[in-house]
């Protein structure tokens, strides 16, 4: 897993988001045991206390759960993971729209631009397929 951090947001909230991405993308599959907080922190190059805080928040949301002795696991609830995926998607869409509005595009213009892009990519995919 590649960890990247921006300068503006608190580290723990960036950790939450990146672990969520890990779960949604299947990097951490449902029901799988997560590495220890210290190992994850070492891998991400962050303070273990910060990683602990992120884990506590994820537990509160229910995306991970801990068993007293065995460690911490990804939820097996597929619906919850799907919801998390949608949340993340929403988040990206909002950011995208905000950026496009700043550039002066209207909603319908954005939609048609997106459609156009999708068609081009579809064609180029076919090209490269041949």
* Minimum CB–partner distance for residue 62 and other proteins (Å): 23
Applying CB under 8 A, which of residues 5, 21, 87, 100 lies at the interface with other proteins? 5
List 19, 24, 46, 63, residue binding other proteins (CB under 8 A): 46
Give me the least distance between CB of 40 and other proteins, in Å please.
10
Is 31 within 8 Å of 67 (Cβ atoms)? no
49 counts as binding other proteins under rule CB under 8 A: yes
Please name the helix (run of DSSP H) or strand (run of DSSP E) that holds residue 65, with its range, or none: strand 64-67
Query: Is residue 47 a contact point for other proteins (CB under 8 A)?
Result: yes
81: exposed, middle or buried (C-beta count within 10 Å: 0-12, 13-18, 19+)?
Answer: buried
CA–CA separation, 34 and 86 (whole Å): 22
Residue 95 sits in the site that holds other proteins (CB under 8 A): no
Residue 46 C-beta: closest distance to other proteins, Å: 5
Q: What are phi and psi of 66, to 5 degrees?
A: -115, 145
Q: Which residues here bind other proteins, judged by CB under 8 A?
A: 5, 7-12, 38-39, 41-50
């Amino acid at each position: 897993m590649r960890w990247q951090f921006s300068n503006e947001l608190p580290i723990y909230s960036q950790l939450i988001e990146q672990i969520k991405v890990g779960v949604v993308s299947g990097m951490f599959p449902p029901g799988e045991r997560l590495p220890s907080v210290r190992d994850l922190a070492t891998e991400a190059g962050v303070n273990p206390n910060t990683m602990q805080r992120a884990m506590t928040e994820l537990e509160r949301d229910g995306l991970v759960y801990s068993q007293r002795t065995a460690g911490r696991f990804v939820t097996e609830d597929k619906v919850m993971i799907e919801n998390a995926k949608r949340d993340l998607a929403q988040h990206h869409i909002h950011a995208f729209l905000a950026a496009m509005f700043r550039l002066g595009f209207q909603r319908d213009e954005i939609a048609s631009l997106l459609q156009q892009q999708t068609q081009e990519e579809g064609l180029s995919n076919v090209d490269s397929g041949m």
